[in-house]
Structure 1
């Protein structure tokens, strides 16, 4: 049996446990034996703060955060620090992945106060939840210009007793500034293709022409930049837009940011060459990169991109899938007390595991010794652990070794299996085994899209299995979504990301299966999302359904590590409008765009997924209705042809001519008007609101779509 990965818990069986021990969050459980008298985010904590006249010490992090671990070991496990914290504050721990609403709000405060942000996030605030101090990592004692936590506690304690009025005044002012964006009036700017050109030019300036990706170090994947560029290429035929995507995806796959042995992408690279990663693996990165590689494969048919899709899916199905059907959140960067130890190799280890011929291949490809040009095996002497990353591409390596490309790939699979099995004997990184419905929505979208493009039904079945898990456990009958599932329990009301990402996932699943039940689920989720999150005055979706705070509900607009809910919602609404001929959805999308248009015009690089939705709405768009029985060959030929083409502005419907259309009036009120021509599978295509003559031949369909 394979070794079971440990979940995120560092609790001992003998240490005294605090209030966090009963919390389901793996991150909170990591701190359950701290001497700090932690509270979870709760009314009890704020009542205690008021009763005892203490400020709040709020610490926000997540289970796979390396510097969260460092601060925990250095400060929160330290008796001296704990005593000082307990006597001065009411201390609250928050898992940012469980409560992104709290994290977003106080990260905004941190950025306002310090000009930057990150995790661990440290906030000191009043019992009324109003912050007056913010920082990220804090050491125990002062170091390289950073204040030490003991020194900070002493200063805050003194200020609280001698200048409390000034601290409260400052907190009120900060709270007022945090409310300012919610008071902005609805903008009335119309975005057109000029803003797409500006976004492209900004990406061009930021592009690393030698290594792919954008900017310098640290370098993040940011797949939504790539998805925008693919659409810009399709719109303008600008070949360099496609070149930027291809180069970035190839360099990432060959770099150390990709786990060359166990597959899957690490969170980011610490250098501009993609060689040295920050080793944690996040589910959302895998999902968005599957989508980016899949769409680029549709265009290029590059076998490396297909291989990468398959490898990422192998990783998430093997290491991240819960038996019930959902996918886990993340894997830690640390193992055996050291960041990246699980993933690195010395040349001696490789020589011990591989026969000389196989080591020669590894040495040529990854340059694990200094003699890589001569392909000689060094004596087994001490060497530093290395992250495996390609120094040469596969075709160059095959030529150097006198092998065909296919022979090299076959041998590499054998070598990878040997090294993977050896690596499994190491202490693995801890796994955050909670299941988040929003990130699982992204995985459903990714698996459905990859399954269609690669004609791999098992991927679609996995997506359906995950969708079934969510329907049974996390999506309520009224359309409300719960955010987190762990150890048999679902909880925490969903946020905007839940609805946006799940609607995306169910739309992709409908396009992959043409099961109208998935489209109905997307519509049900969208109804609840609109009723409970939509700002009817200033437009746009609030991030939370409600927040138990004196601070306001906020909206998220910026596309950061993942696209924000409002950006994804624009694409969703346009697609829903085109699929169901419901113009009100497209009106909502237009309102969304207008409400943030001023900010987008000033800094389009921060809104590339939003702009991908704008690009779809601007057209030319395509509505493709295939009329035929799904199991018949002529229908399948049409569907296969459509799925192999990169059609980012298209929605596809499959209508069976023998269906009882009265059963579909709620979704497709127009369906009965489409009939097959001469009893053949027939395709109706509307381009930019103009419908073409129906076609029954593949060649004519190609002409229309291209």
Structure 2
């Protein structure tokens, strides 16, 4: 962190008469401003980390200056200090793109777009997914690769790369209703199952087993800074099973959960994400199908009502009369028959695709979704 810290003298030398206001605003102290007890080795002695300690109105009041004047002085001071800091030796920069981490971010942006209605979040998720398909995916082998920096690395993807990217793609479909993302997720799930699934005991190994130097293939059983691949994969399988009416995927999801039953029984808090998958498997997941053009105001109103409810154990499908509806109808004829009602977008709320009568207005949909 030496690149970012300053002594009081360094700031005085650079800013001159402007330094007092800057130091007040950013809490600069002669002895340094690291919190007491957080620097046992005294590495930050007489060093300051620039953190805004006062608002612009507070700083203006303290120095009896106008807020615009204070704002301009702070901008000018930061520019001067930035110019000096840029001459220091820069810390090493890790700028590689990792498949697994981008999968997690796709999920975050897609869910944010869905709940908050932020188009820019959906755009970010979509651009990341397109990058993964273009730069981290091999169409011939149907395999993911681990990372990208000035070109794709030669390191094949691990189980978490597949699990997190598949989760992101399913979330992205439910935000955009672009069927290409579900198709891509299904392809990756098939590859993950082929390369990593333990057919004997269930669950997913972290590595493929191709590398002979890996003596023992391990399964991660801890949802810590990142969730375990098996924890995420279990829910992916259960969700895709709902989308595709696929009992084999559902069974594989259950086997994955069961593989870690000893860990969960002994120390449940070690695998909270797996418990999410378990909850999904024990519930009666709802299938909510929106029939109609996704871009119309009426359809958006129905989707908005759905997103007002906390419904973690559900899937969301668009029956828009296009390729997406045809794709789902290949496995489930009921979806193929779903259509708008009296030329109005309609919501079908189902369990095991046994559906309530379709509704076309928000109030009726709210009543359906509020029932246990």
Q: State the TM-score, normalized to the length of structure 1.
A: 0.44
Matching residue within 183, 190, 202 for 1:539: 202
Distance 2:30 2:368 in 1: 55
Alpha-carbon distance, 1:412 to partner = 8.9
- Are 2:258 and 1:601 aligned? no
- CA deviations 1:608-664 (Å, max 9, x no partner) are 121122223333533221111112111112223334544322221122146685455
| Alignment check: 8 A CA contact 2:287 2:314 kept | yes
1:696 shift after superposition: 1.2
Describe the SS at the equivalent of 1:553.
coil
Deviations 1:465-509 (A, max 9, x none): 222222122212242111232322431222111110110111121
| 1:703 aligns with one of 360, 363, 367 | 367
Contact 2:178 2:324 survives alignment (8 Å)? no
- Residues of 2 paired with 1:508 and 1:413: CA distance? 44
What SS is found at the alignment partner of 2:143? coil
Match of 1:441 among 84, 99, 103: 103
Q: Secondary structure at the match of 1:543?
A: coil
RMSD: 3.6
Measure how far apart 1:682 and its partner are. 0.9
Which residue of structure 1 aligns with residue 4 of structure 2? 343
SS in 2 for 1:686: strand
Residue 683 (structure 1) shift:
1.0
The answer to whether the 8 A contact 2:25-2:59 is kept is: no
Contact 2:145 2:152 in 1 (8 A): no
TM-superposed deviation, 1:460: 2.0
Q: Matches of 2:253 and 2:312 in 1, distance apart?
A: 17
How much has 1:574 moved relative to structure 2?
A: 1.7
Query: Take 2:77 and 2:116, find their aligned partners in 1: how far apart are those partners?
Result: 27
For the residue of structure 2 that corresponds to 1:568, the secondary structure is helix
1:677 maps onto 2:338 in alignment: no
Query: Quick one: distance in 1 between partners of 2:76 and 2:240?
Result: 44
Indicate how the Cα distance of structure 1 residues 549 and 513 shifts in structure 2: closer, same or farther if over 3 A, else same: same
Q: Residue 492 of structure 1: SS of its match in structure 2?
A: coil
In 1, the alpha carbon distance for the partners of 2:246 and 2:238 equals 9
Give the 3 Å change call, closer, same or farther, for CA 616–419 of structure 1 in structure 2: farther
- Structure 1 residue 437 displacement after superposition: 1.7
1:50 alignment counterpart: none
Give the equivalent residue in structure 1 for 2:150: 487
Equivalence map 1:102-113=2 (5 Å): none
Q: Which consecutive unaligned segments of at least 5 residues does structure 1 have?
A: 1-339, 373-381, 403-407
2:202·2:259 contact (CA, 8 Å) conserved in 1?
yes
Task: Specify the alignment match of 1:549 in structure 2.
Answer: 213
1:468 maps to 2:134: no
Partner of 1:655: 319
Q: Contact 2:244–2:328 at 8 Å: present in 1 too?
A: no
Report what 1:586 is aligned to: 250
Question: Is residue 501–residue 565 contact of structure 1 (8 Å, CA) maintained in 2?
Answer: yes
Partner residue, 1:332: none
Pair 1:574 & 2:229 matched? no
Cα deviation per residue 1:649-703 (whole Å; 9 max; x = unaligned)? Answer: 2221122146685455446653212121221111112358763332211122233
**Correspondence for 2:173 among 475, 491, 510:** 510
The equivalent residue for 2:41 is: none
- CA 1:520–1:421: 2 relative to 1, 3 Å: farther
1:554/1:429 CA distance change after superposition, 3 Å = same
**1:384 offset after TM fit, Å?**
2.3
CA–CA separation in structure 2 for the residues paired with 1:480 and 1:506:
15
Q: Does 1:561 align with 2:222?
A: no
**Alpha carbons 1:362, 1:368 under 8 Å: kept:** no
SS in 2 for 1:702: helix
Residue 554 (structure 1) shift:
2.0
Aligned positions of 1:336-375 closer than 5 A: 340-346=1-7, 352=15, 360-363=24-27
Structure 1 residue 350, shift from structure 2 partner: 6.6
Residue 575 of structure 1, CA deviation:
1.5
The partner residue of 1:640 within 304, 309, 331 is: 304
Q: Structure 1's 398 and 438: CA in aligned 2 closer, same or farther, altered over 3 A?
A: same
In 2: Cα distance, 1:551 partner to 1:643 partner: 47
Structure 1 residue aligned with 2:36: none
- Asked if the contact 2:30–2:46 (Cα under 8 Å) also holds between the matched residues in 1, the reply is no
* Alpha-carbon distance in structure 1 between the residues aligned to 2:222 and 2:214: 24
Rounded Cα–Cα distance in structure 1 between residues aligned with 2:190 and 2:308: 32
Q: Distance in 2 between matches of 1:647 and 1:417?
A: 50
Q: Distance in 2 between matches of 1:630 and 1:494?
A: 34
Q: Please tell me whether the aligned partners of residues 441 and 505 of structure 1 are also in contact (alpha carbons under 8 angstroms).
A: yes
Alignment of 1:213-224 (within 5 A): none
Distance in 2 (CA, whole Å) between partners of 1:429 and 1:637 is: 49
TM-score where L is the length of structure 2: 0.79
> Secondary structure of the residue that 2:348 maps to in structure 1?
strand
CA contact (8 A) 1:474 1:483 kept: yes
Matched, 1:623 2:287: yes
Compared with structure 1, are the counterparts of its residues 666 and 348 closer, same or farther at alpha carbon in structure 2 (3 Å cutoff)? farther
Of 348, 355, 366, the match for 1:691: 355
Distance 2:238 2:151 in 1: 36
Task: Check the 8 A contact 2:243/2:328 in 1, yes or no.
Answer: no
Q: How many residues align?
A: 344
Q: Give the distance between the partners of 1:572 and 1:591, measured in 2 at CA.
A: 13
- Contact 1:622/1:686 (8 A) holds in 2: yes
